[in-house]
Amino acid sequence: MNAAEIREFRDACSAAGIAVTHQRQVVWQALRSMHGHPSPEEIYERVRPRIPAISLATVYKNIHLFIESGMFREVSLHHGSMRVETNPEPHHHLVCRVCKSIRDIDAETLGVAGKPRRLPDGFLAERYAIDILGLCAKCQKSM
């Protein structure tokens, strides 16, 4: 809305090497104005009042560009389908953001321990699931 925000958006686009389009800016501002963890559909519904003719595909394309360029992040990586854990031992995961591989790592090797005291809003913790996001050795080489 304001000038500083528009400048920030333009700078982010040029840093990412993408064009400054009206649709892109409105999607970006919608995300800026939203709280929580919206789905593409929810973002679409937020954008539609401003650009009634926008396509859901455009929203998807721009979300992906924003994530690739680091302007926003995904809450958790999608693997395309559900995955079943076959390792019954308590452990955590190394997840590669490029090839999406998942490797087990036990809490000891990881060096984080200890359940917390009390959680906000009376949340009852049953399990800690730590994903370390990054690059596997193979994907580091191919860059």
Per CB under 5 A, which of residues 5..64 are in contact with Zn ion? none
**95 contacts 77 by C-beta, under 8 angstroms:** yes
Residues 6+ apart with CB under 8 A from 100: 77, 79
Give which of Zn ion, Mn ion, DNA, none residue 87 binds (C-beta under 5 to 8 Å, depending on kind). Mn ion
By beta-carbon proximity to DNA, the closer residue of 69 and 110 is 69
- Quote the CA–CA distance of 85 and 96 in Å, as a whole number: 17
Structure tokens at 124: 């009852």
By beta-carbon proximity to DNA, the closer residue of 24 and 92 is 24
96 labelled binding-site residue: yes
Q: Give the residue, chosen from 6, 16, 107, 136, that forms a contact with Zn ion under the rule CB under 5 A.
A: 136
136 labelled binding-site residue: yes
Buried b (16+ CB within 10 A) or exposed e, 116-132: eeeeeeeeeeeeeeeee
Q: Give the residue, chosen from 11, 41, 74, 104, that forms a contact with Mn ion under the rule CB under 5 A.
A: 104
Min CB(123)–DNA separation in Å: 24
Which residue pairs, CB below 8 angstroms and at least 24 apart, start in 124-128? 128/92
Of 35-43, 49-57, 66-74, 88-96, which segment contacts Zn ion by CB under 5 A? 88-96
13 labelled binding-site residue: no
Give which of its own copies, Mn ion, DNA, none residue 125 binds (C-beta under 5 to 8 Å, depending on kind). its own copies
What SS3 state is found at 94? strand
The footprint of Mn ion (CB under 5 A) covers 87, 104
Annotated binding site for Zn(2+): 96, 99, 136, 139
